Structure 1
Amino acid sequence: MPRLNGKNILVTGASQGLGRQLALTFAHEGAIGLSLIARHLGPLQKVRDEVGEISKRTNVLAVEADVGKISDIERLVATTLDAFGGRLDVVVNNASTIGSAPMPFLLDYPLEDFQNVMNTNLIGPFLIIKNILPAMVENGGSIINVTSDAGATGYPGWGAYGISKFGLEGLSQTWAAELEETGVRVNWVDPGNMTDMCA
């Protein structure tokens, strides 16, 4: 039996790279519902179509949303829960942005750009978990936050991104400790160096 048979799953940053591959794998492994989130609808619809070729029984949502914006987070959570009858089993916080390019040293980092990176990479996952948690506690579930080796070691020029990933690891550990008695698991994973990882 497929490992994710009957599960409802939300994936942010799902239009390319790791997020896209996770969506395809989850469909292959039996997910009954997939809520795919990304900032641009066109590429996301292509992933939705790819999922449909793998599994005709999977209910696939393609939700255009920016996880760096509170109003978008509230909307994507409401849309997902409405489509899945209020039940969600897995959340993958994969969406990420590197920020300014070329990436400046912290001394020269524009404040607005720094805040944008934090909003997408750290505040966004925090708010998604906070908003969606009531739907997961009743049946248990799994939250997976995608981190980076830049969140374990400080690299010159990777300032805002690295700091956000350090924060995401801390956020994950704290959620895991606070939710220990609820049946909701919180893990973080560093997939290593990848291309097209931001969506």
Structure 2
Amino acid sequence: MTDKTTAARVALVTGGSAGLGLALCRELAGRGWRVITDGRSEEKFKEADLPDAVTVVVGDLTDADHRQALVGEVSAYGRLDLLVHNASTLGPLPMRPLAEVDIADLQQVWRTNIGGPLVLTSALLPWLREANGVLLSISSDAAVHHYEGWGLYGASKAALDHVTLTYGAETGLRAYAVDPGDMRTAMHQDAFPGEDISDRPLPETVVPHLVALLDERPASGRYRAADLGGDVR
């Protein structure tokens, strides 16, 4: 791999081909960051038309070789100032009550929403520590509230919150779990098939709140994006 060593801040944002991940990648790149992102669909990345400051690694976060490729990109830059766990899955669709799911369903959701993020964080800790970086996980209100059909997803997000904040406690790094609120995304549409979700805000409206969090660096914890600062566009 070619040497990409840079003095610019470096972020790794998982799930950057669409939705909030894509909007955050664009914003960080526009602010002078070098950004690494991933996703399973090469076609989606072609449609996204990301700026040159964004390096795309196509693959699945649950795959060990793919995670190693992400680590290799970070190593090439020689630093990591921000790790964002944004990639996630709702699980089998349509979403079902807990009484109707099985172990295979649990494994699918758990590996994507908590297993991949956990082991990727561990692999990247040396660079995050050196840069006094930030660990940011995108959570959900389903992590703390109980909605019919959202059991597997909500449990995985609650676990991601816990793991994220425990990393903060164990390392001293700033660690945040942020509930972005409802957004007009493909994932949200999948959760409400056939319903009109045009009244939900676009993910771009959440990004200023995330940027404000990164700028202010408050104490580690769980936050709602709506309660954070930032000029909403």
- What is the TM-score normalised by the length of structure 1? 0.85
| Contact kept in structure 1, 2:138 and 2:179, CA below 8 Å | yes
Q: Deviations over 1:107-144 (max 9, x none)?
A: 21032121011000011111111001111212211110
Counterpart in the other structure of 1:95: 87
**SS at 1:120 equivalent:** helix
2:104 to 109, 112, 122: 112
2:57 to 39, 63, 82: 63
Q: Which has the higher contact order (CA 8 A, sep 6+)?
A: 1
Counterpart in the other structure of 2:17: 15
**SS at 1:138 equivalent:** helix
With over 3 angstroms needed to count, the CA separation of the structure-2 counterparts of 1:46 and 1:128, relative to structure 1, is same
Q: Deviations over 1:73-95 (max 9, x none)?
A: 1222223322x1x2111111100
Number of residue equivalences: 181
Counterpart in the other structure of 1:190: 179
Instruction: Work out the CA distance in 1 between the residues paired with 2:165 and 2:134.
Output: 14
With over 3 angstroms needed to count, the CA separation of the structure-2 counterparts of 1:12 and 1:197, relative to structure 1, is farther
User: Which amino acid in structure 1 is aligned with residue 51 of structure 2?
Assistant: V
| Contact kept in structure 2, 1:96 and 1:197, CA below 8 Å | no
**SS at 2:145 equivalent:** coil
| Contact kept in structure 1, 2:11 and 2:80, CA below 8 Å | yes
- Range moving further from structure 2, 63-72 or 144-153: 63-72
1:177 to 169, 181, 184: 169
Instruction: Work out the CA distance in 1 between the residues paired with 2:154 and 2:143.
Output: 5
Counterpart in the other structure of 1:36: 37
- Range moving further from structure 2, 87-96 or 134-143: 134-143
**1:91-170 to 2 correspondence within 5 Å?**
91-170=83-162
Counterpart in the other structure of 2:51: 51
Unaligned 5+ runs, structure 2: 1-6, 189-233
Counterpart in the other structure of 2:225: none
Percent identity of paired positions between Structure 1 and Structure 2: 36
- What is the TM-score normalised by the length of structure 2? 0.73
Superposition RMSD on alpha carbons, in Å? 1.7
